[in-house]
Structure 1
Amino acid sequence: MHPEEVDVIVCGGGPAGSVVAGRLAYADPTLKVMLIEGGANNRDDPWVYRPGIYVRNMQNDGVNDKATFYTDTQQSSHLRGRRSIVPCANILGGGSSINFQMYTRASASDWDDFKTEGWTAKDLVPLMKRLENYQKPANNDTHGYDGPIAISNGGQIQPVAQDFLRASHAIGIPYSDDIQDLNTAHGAEIWAKYINRHTGRRSDAATAYVHSVMDVQDNLYLRCNARVNRVLFDANNKAVGVAYVPSRNRTSGGKVHETIVKARKMVVLSSGTLGTPQILERSGVGNAELLSQLGIKVVSDLPGVGEEYQDHYTTLSLYRVSNDTQTTDDFLRGVKEAQQEIFQEWETSPEKARLSSNSIDAGFKIRPTEEELKEMGPEFNELWNRYFKDKPDKPVMFGSIVGGAYADHSLLPPGKYITMFQYLEYPASRGKIHIKSANPYVEPFYDSGFLNNKADFAPIRWSYKKTREVARRMDCFRGELTSHHPHFHPNSPAACHDIDLKTAKELLPNSLTVGIHMGTWHKPGDAYDPKKVHDDIVYTKEDDEAIDNWVADHVETTWHSLGTCAMKPREQGGVVDKRLSVYGTENLKCVDLSICPDNLGTNTYSSALLVGEKGADLIAEELGLKIRVPHAPVPHAPIPTGKPATQQLR
């Protein structure tokens, strides 16, 4: 039973919303807080807490109900006629319950670029430390060790991680023991993960901030499988409650069945970059012209709502590796013996099991050299001079290695693989999202804007070349899976080469039947030594065009949406002020990544948590509360035994 009136309503149980709800409820046991989440409860869900099965949660196959998939309303000429698809988490904990669990942090200048009082990196470092339970050695003072969010290397590190670091160093990317220190923008490291090394479990926001509080207090009310339709205002534009509906469409005769909950003190929107602007518009906050066309009463005319959508872009390329390389391929392709063995490991010793890793064990941040900039074209060079040149802490691209093929294994030839991810951290392209109806079940107009600024092609093309050079120099390298690379002319020196399956009986570790060395085929039986690879591949103009076409055909979201309710002056298209209050309203705040006025070079879970911590502080201050931080991490929910080891991926 939920009360019909509470003090604070938090709309959305993603990372930021979980932080706000949990921190406020824990700060004052007499404060009634209600958290409304569109997805299911994540508590004790083995498909959530076992880190190594995250790939299943990313599938759009009709079985997965942990994500909502937004598709471009129109075909994009920038994507050669494709429609991009952007999944958003549909589960308590948001992306933290289903993401890749990669721990990175934004650069100091990213926060300083917000140009907002109270939001500089110096202001935010104490909150970064407050949320972290950092379980690695550190040589700087930016990490925290007593917070609720565990960060570690996970249960295992695959040997290909060290191979990757050595090969990266060979092309001029230095090793670092911490490139998440807010300042390093060119270096490679063993990549940390949101995994608790003591339990092997994923460290999600709902477990850390919501379940832990509900275990010890009774003032936090949780409503899952409910979608907030709109905010309720009084005659003075003060938020006084919300109306929510079942997440699944249960309309009858065209009517939407709403449930009303009143809020005595505050309504907080935390439904994400794609959800929050839709709630605002259905509530009468947004572009007055659009709202009037839809018959929605205008509460506050804010044309910036739903605009300036941003993301990070990724491409991935697959490489063959030797048969003795440790990968997750047999597990992912459904080999029953491999799955049973790996699930049994978890049951026996989860903190050491292979399932207590995401198999993304190493990565880098990189910036181009002066020579490389000369080849990246005028559009990107203009962006470089304006945005990157004088900010040496900003990486242009991320790269990471996955010990296995991140692909549909039913379509892959036999063998073992590594996947190279390339991530564009600060795209110049922008998109938008707007409602098409006051009915919450009607799909919105959505334009991801992917690659609609030409400046974004050059850095992705450059990073593909860099990760390819790293792969060629790895000891385990045995060729490119050509179906997952650009279509170069066969006579080009840049042409990709796969192994010859007719003559290669096995991908031997040291004596390849067929191999590649500096673009030249070896004779059968020759040993392949990638350490002898000294020369980078030379690409022609036609080769660059092939890469750009491949990028347009394959670039995807990294699930890092932000920016549609920007924190900046109202006259500049802003939606919220420095205290996250929505312009033209009272007692209404937005606390999620939609408030970012500029991009953040990071996997955004860390930033969503940080925005949540900042929002919790601001709201607590206005309510006359003080955030309580235990001397030890907030107690977590009991660790269940999980489902039987024989339960397999499907």
Structure 2
Amino acid sequence: MTSAGAETFDYVIVGSGAAGSVLANRLTADPAVTVCVLEAGPPDRNPFIHIPAGFIKTLSNPAVTWQFKTEAIPMTGGRRISTTQGRTLGGSSSVNGLIYNRGQPTDLDSWAQRGNRGWGYDDCLPYYRRSENRIGPAGKEPGETRGRNADGIPITDMDWINQVSEAFIRGCEGIGIPRAPDYNSGIQAGVGYYQRTIRNGRRISAAVAFLKPAMKRPNLEVRTNARASRILFEGTRATGIAYQAARGAPARQVMARREVILCSGTVNTARLLQVSGVGPADLLGRLGVPVVRDVRGVGSNFRDHYASRFVMRAKKGVETLNELSRGLKLGAQIARWATGRPSILATTPSHVHVFWKSFEGLDQPDLQCVFTPGSYAEGKVYVLDDYPGVTAGAWQHRPESTGWVRARSTDVFEDPEINPNYLSDPMDIRVHLGGMKLLRRMLGTPELGHYLEGETLPGPKVQGDDELLDFAKKNGSTTYHLIGTARMGPETDPTAVVSDRLLVHGLAGLRVVDASIMPSMPSANTYATTLMIAERAADFITGAVA
């Protein structure tokens, strides 16, 4: 039932994260179009959002994040794992690890091969470029990356370099892993420093890059602390959104003349569809929700990258992030940051990337590995060790294990059931073990031997496959790369949720534009591809492409 006097816009966008921010900007470029963005969280005024190292504070802050947890499952040793997502202007782009990573061209080619027209790498490359402002050394673009958009999100190179990171890279080269000049050029394999979404020492979220400029336009309205509780339908056409400021608060409604666009992220998009009557009929029946459309795939195909991390103690006198984050040395780093010089406050959580293979004979890397010249205390969230240390982690590019997201009730203030089914596929176990063994090879090179003295986690006693797998179960964790719960596919596929134009099958006026539509996991962090999806969706909506 639509309440009298509800405000009406051409488009209602649910979520102001990566996709929602891009769409708000692109759609309101036409002054004749009106857009309302609903964001469940507050404005992005928390200062730790804008300091790159502030992620340590924001990830554990429920005021600006969804503090989701997975179900306790055997393959995580019965643990519930925090899989935090952003809940503020900019969404997860305001709290993420700031890494920019497109992945391999074959990721998208496989999407096209599944019947999704126009989603091959060559089709999508212009949309990556549209969202990017690649700022290379001395302000010049490397030749591999020419053609990126000066109005896009700034992508810069690492400027704070630690001697231990340099030794790690040299060691990788010594075991046959080449240095990669630009892993976003279409050639991923190799080792090097990450590109990141930092400019002048500050995080540039999707809200800063796309949403804030658009908010100066009179045809865009952004409402914060507005948690979508239900999609409104007239028959099978989406007509608006009901939302609440807080549990028990009166529901308000905002109507859409043309489309409702869900940009809520992999967990919230699936949950919102389900509580609105779009999803598996048996689940809707248990929730007591009238069926608008029985769409079996809503909430299924959930995937995430599951990582294991090794820690090594550095020798006395070796300077790592652990020492630089305390006392007078931290004060010096803050002063450097305040005066625009390279500083630990303006670095990413992971400094060095390695894209490589879990076993010989593969054509392309099936692993992403990371290295940081710092280490966290075992069992403590984001508390650095009180001795010098380093961390290296590994995860499988394209996990086969799939889980689900299911609403527990129609109350959107109650977290849904999230079951990732990590390592449930035998191939995932094989690749994960290969990644852990590669970590030890990379950490055991002579080049690093000058700086490191011993492995503290998992420790030298953990050697065999069974022991390594047991360690992975008890200590592995999410990388916050959640995808797939409203996956894209042809209507002939009964498990597909949206078409290759991102419209929900069997319904009118309802589109999904976020990481939930990804049919399979990219061989990358998901942020860059989510931005690309939104750029492409904007052209679908405006009619720039058929």
Normalising by structure 1, we get a TM-score of: 0.77
In structure 1, which of residues 360, 364, 370 is the aligned counterpart of residue 354 of structure 2?
364
Q: Give the alignment of 1:504-543 within 5 angstroms.
A: 543=464
Who is 1:79 aligned against?
76
1:145 CA drift (Å): 4.5
Determine whether 1:98 maps to 2:68: no
Deviations 1:91-138 (A, max 9, x none): 211111111111211211101111211111100111111111101242
In structure 1, which of residues 476, 485, 489 is the aligned counterpart of residue 458 of structure 2?
485
Q: Indicate if the aligned counterparts of 2:490 and 2:500 stay in contact, CA closer than 8 A.
A: no
Who is 2:327 aligned against?
336
1:357 CA drift (Å): 1.6
Q: 1:439 to 1:368 in 2, by over 3 A?
A: closer
Write the distance in 1 (CA, Å) between the matches of 2:513 and 2:308: 30
Q: Residue type matched to 1:553 in 2? A: K
What is the DSSP-based 3-state SS (H/G/I as helix, E as strand, rest coil) of the residue aligned with 1:133? strand
Deviations 1:430-483 (A, max 9, x none): 11011122222233222121112232122222222222222222154322342x
Who is 1:600 aligned against?
522
What is the DSSP-based 3-state SS (H/G/I as helix, E as strand, rest coil) of the residue aligned with 2:398? coil
Who is 1:283 aligned against?
276
1:151 CA drift (Å): 0.7
1:84 CA drift (Å): 2.8
In structure 1, which of residues 450, 456, 460 is the aligned counterpart of residue 432 of structure 2?
460
Q: Indicate if the aligned counterparts of 1:36 and 1:228 stay in contact, CA closer than 8 A.
A: yes
Who is 1:320 aligned against?
313
Who is 1:555 aligned against?
476
Q: Residue type matched to 1:557 in 2? A: T
Unaligned runs of 5+ in 1: 374-388, 495-542, 627-650
Q: 1:97 to 1:320 in 2, by over 3 A?
A: same
Who is 2:39 aligned against?
37
Q: Residue type matched to 2:355 in 1? A: K
Write the distance in 2 (CA, Å) between the matches of 1:411 and 1:354: 15
Q: Residue type matched to 1:596 in 2? A: M
Q: Which has the larger radius of gyration?
A: 1
Who is 2:206 aligned against?
205
In structure 2, which of residues 394, 397, 416 is the aligned counterpart of residue 444 of structure 1?
416
Q: Give the alignment of 1:96-175 within 5 angstroms.
A: 96-115=93-112, 116-136=116-136, 137-141=141-145, 144-175=148-179
Q: Indicate if the aligned counterparts of 1:328 and 1:404 stay in contact, CA closer than 8 A.
A: yes
What is the DSSP-based 3-state SS (H/G/I as helix, E as strand, rest coil) of the residue aligned with 1:268? strand
Q: Residue type matched to 2:219 in 1? A: N
Q: Residue type matched to 2:528 in 1? A: S
Who is 2:223 aligned against?
223
Who is 1:435 aligned against?
407
Who is 1:646 aligned against?
none
Q: Indicate if the aligned counterparts of 2:375 and 2:385 stay in contact, CA closer than 8 A.
A: no
Deviations 1:14-65 (A, max 9, x none): 101111111111x21232111111112115x421111122222233xxx553
Q: Indicate if the aligned counterparts of 1:191 and 1:361 stay in contact, CA closer than 8 A.
A: yes
Q: Residue type matched to 2:191 in 1? A: A
Number of aligned residues: 529
Q: Residue type matched to 1:58 in 2? A: L
What is the DSSP-based 3-state SS (H/G/I as helix, E as strand, rest coil) of the residue aligned with 2:308? strand
What is the DSSP-based 3-state SS (H/G/I as helix, E as strand, rest coil) of the residue aligned with 2:310? strand
Deviations 1:65-88 (A, max 9, x none): 322122234x31222322233111
Q: Indicate if the aligned counterparts of 2:407 and 2:415 stay in contact, CA closer than 8 A.
A: yes
Write the distance in 2 (CA, Å) between the matches of 1:88 and 1:559: 7
In structure 2, which of residues 17, 23, 44 is the aligned counterpart of residue 20 of structure 1?
23
Write the distance in 2 (CA, Å) between the matches of 1:141 and 1:346: 28
Write the distance in 2 (CA, Å) between the matches of 1:432 and 1:18: 26
Q: Residue type matched to 2:202 in 1? A: R
What is the DSSP-based 3-state SS (H/G/I as helix, E as strand, rest coil) of the residue aligned with 2:202? coil
Deviations 1:292-312 (A, max 9, x none): 332212111101000010011
Write the distance in 2 (CA, Å) between the matches of 1:287 and 1:442: 19
1:548 CA drift (Å): 0.7
Who is 2:182 aligned against?
178
What is the DSSP-based 3-state SS (H/G/I as helix, E as strand, rest coil) of the residue aligned with 2:453? strand
Deviations 1:366-422 (A, max 9, x none): 02443xx7xxxxxxxxxxxxxxx5xx3x42111111121144389776421111121
Who is 2:7 aligned against?
4
Determine whether 1:259 maps to 2:252: yes
Q: 1:166 to 1:281 in 2, by over 3 A?
A: same
Who is 2:65 aligned against?
67
Q: Indicate if the aligned counterparts of 1:18 and 1:93 stay in contact, CA closer than 8 A.
A: yes
Write the distance in 1 (CA, Å) between the matches of 2:510 and 2:540: 12
Who is 1:645 aligned against?
none
In structure 2, which of residues 466, 473, 498 is the aligned counterpart of residue 576 of structure 1?
498
